[in-house]
Structure 1
Amino acid sequence: MPEVRFTVRWPDDSVSDCYSPSTVIHDYLQAGASYPLDDFMTRSRTALHLASERVRLKYGYACSSAMDQLLRLEARAVSYQAHSAATVTIVALQP
C-alpha cells in the first residue's frame, strides 16, 4: 500500500511528523490548510481508521501503525483543548 508521511504544526508552533498507511489521508487533510483542533482530530480519526481498514481488506489485519499514530495525535491534542481558537496546520503531505 502506498504510505503517506504528513507533518502537522500544533498551536504552540511545534511540529510532528505523522504516518498514514494509505493515501486516503489526502481525502481528509490538505497541505497548507489549517483546521480548528476538533475538526483536525475528527478528520484524522476518520482518515486513519479508513487507512487501517484498507490494510485489513488487503492483508487480513488492521494497521497497528495507523492506530498508534492516532493515539499519539489524541494525546497531543489533549494539551490544546482548553484553547478555543486552537488550530492545526498541515505543513506537508508526502506520498
Structure 2
Amino acid sequence: MSGKPDIAQRDLRTRPKEIMDAVQEGQAFTLTRDGRRIGELAPLRHRRRFVPRGEFAAMSRTAPDISLDAFRADQDATTEQGPDDPYAR
C-alpha cells in the first residue's frame, strides 16, 4: 500500500479542478487505470531561493575554518594553468 489515496483516470477527467486544488494544498495521489496503479500525482517541493540573514549567520558560526592556501592548492591541482589557444589543433 502506498499511503496515498488512489484516484482513477476517470476521476481525473471528471473532477480535475478538485483534484488539482488538493494537490496544490499538499495532497498526493496514486493514479490508477483499470484498477492498476500506474503513477503518482504529487505536489512539487518548493526550494527556497534565499536564506534569511539570521539563519545564514548561525550556519556560518558553526562552519569549519577554511585554509586559503589549501584551497588555492586544490584549485591549482585541478585546473590547467597554461594559456588556452582556441585555434590550436
Instruction: Give TM-score scaled by structure 1 length.
Output: 0.20
Instruction: Give TM-score scaled by structure 2 length.
Output: 0.21
Q: Which structure has the larger Rg over C-alpha atoms? A: 2
Q: Which structure is higher in RCO with an 8 Å CA cutoff and minimum separation 6?
A: 1
More strand by percentage? 1
